[in-house]
Amino acid sequence: MEKTAASDSAPGLLFSGADWDFNTLKATYDAIEDIAINELKLNVYPNQVEVITSEQMLDAYSSIGMPLMYHHWSFGKRFVRDDVMYRKGYQGLAYEIVINSNPCISYVMEENTIVMQALVIAHAAFGHNHFFKNNYLFKQWTDAEGILDYLQFAKRYIAKCEDRYGFDAVERVLDAAHALMEQGVNRYSHPEKPNLAEELERERERAKYEDETYNDLWRTLPQAEKDDEDLDEMRRKMRMEERRAQFGLPEENLLYFLEKNAPSMQLWEREILRIVRNIGQYFYPQKQTKMMNEGCACYVHYAIMNSLYDKGLISEGAMMEFIDYHSRVVFQAEYDDPRYSGFNPYALGFAMMQDIHRICVDPTEEDRKWFPDIAGNNEPVETLKEAWAHYRDESFILQFLSPKLMRDMRMFLIEDLSSSPHLEVAAIHDDNGYRKVRRALARMHDISVREPDMQVVDVDIRGNRQLYIQHTEHDGIRLEKSEAEMTLGYIGQLWGYGVTLQAVDHETGEILHEMDYTPEDLANA
Q: Does one domain contain both 301 and 177?
A: yes
Q: Does one domain contain both 384 and 461?
A: no
Q: Does one domain contain both 264 and 338?
A: no
Q: What is the residue-wise DSSP string for 176-220?
A: HHHHTGGGSS-SSS-PPPP-HHHHHHHHHHHHHHHHH----TTT-
pLDDT over 60 (residue 216): no
- The C-alpha atoms of residue 207 and residue 201 are separated, in whole angstroms, by 10
| Three-state DSSP state, 503 | strand
Reduced 3-state DSSP string for 41-100: CCCCCCEEEEEECHHHHHHHHHCCCCCCCCCCHHHHHHHHHHHHHHHCCCCCCCCEEEEC
Q: Does one domain contain both 163 and 289?
A: yes
Q: Which phi and psi (to 5°) does residue 482 adopt?
A: -65, -40
On whether residue 254 sits in a domain, the answer given is: yes
Helices 380-390 and 345-361, interaxial angle, to 10°? 130
Q: How many domains does the chain have?
A: 3
pLDDT in tens, 96-155: 788 899 999 998 888 889 999 999 999 999 999 999 999 999 998 888 888 888 888 888
516: domain CATH number?
3.40.1350
Residue 55 pLDDT:
75
pLDDT band at 80 (very low <50, low <70, confident <90, very high): low
Residue 208 pLDDT:
64
pLDDT over 80 (residue 252): yes
pLDDT band at 512 (very low <50, low <70, confident <90, very high): confident
- The C-alpha atoms of residue 272 and residue 63 are separated, in whole angstroms, by 17
On whether residue 43 sits in a domain, the answer given is: yes
- The C-alpha atoms of residue 222 and residue 229 are separated, in whole angstroms, by 12
Which residues have CB under 8 Å from 183's CB, separation 6+? 252, 253, 254, 255, 452, 454
pLDDT in tens, 449-473: 888 888 998 888 777 888 999 988 8
pLDDT in tens, 267-312: 999 999 999 999 888 889 999 999 999 999 999 999 999 999 999 9
Residue 298 pLDDT:
95
pLDDT in tens, 138-167: 998 888 888 888 888 888 998 899 999 999
Radius of gyration of the chain (CA): 27
Residue 74 pLDDT:
61
Q: Does one domain contain both 441 and 479?
A: no
Helices 196-212 and 267-288, interaxial angle, to 10°? 150
Q: Does one domain contain both 458 and 434?
A: no
pTM above 0.75, yes or no: yes
Domain extent at residue 335? 331-449
The residue that leads in pLDDT, 437 or 242, is 437
Q: Does one domain contain both 341 and 319?
A: no
pLDDT over 60 (residue 229): no
Last residue of a domain, one of 449, 465, 489: 449
Last residue of a domain, one of 290, 305, 330: 330
| Three-state DSSP state, 266 | coil
pLDDT band at 62 (very low <50, low <70, confident <90, very high): low
pLDDT band at 335 (very low <50, low <70, confident <90, very high): confident
The answer to whether residues 184 and 277 touch, using CB atoms and an 8 Å cutoff, is yes
Percent of the chain residues topping a pLDDT of 90: 46
On whether residue 313 sits in a domain, the answer given is: yes
Please classify residue 54 by burial: count the beta carbons closer than 10 Å to its beta carbon, then call 0-12 exposed, 13-18 middle and 19+ buried: middle
Residue 514 pLDDT:
86
Last residue of a domain, one of 291, 306, 330: 330
Residue 149 pLDDT:
87
Q: Does one domain contain both 20 and 105?
A: yes
**Average of pLDDT values for 79-97?**
55
pLDDT band at 7 (very low <50, low <70, confident <90, very high): very low
- The C-alpha atoms of residue 284 and residue 288 are separated, in whole angstroms, by 7
On whether residue 30 sits in a domain, the answer given is: yes
- The C-alpha atoms of residue 79 and residue 56 are separated, in whole angstroms, by 10
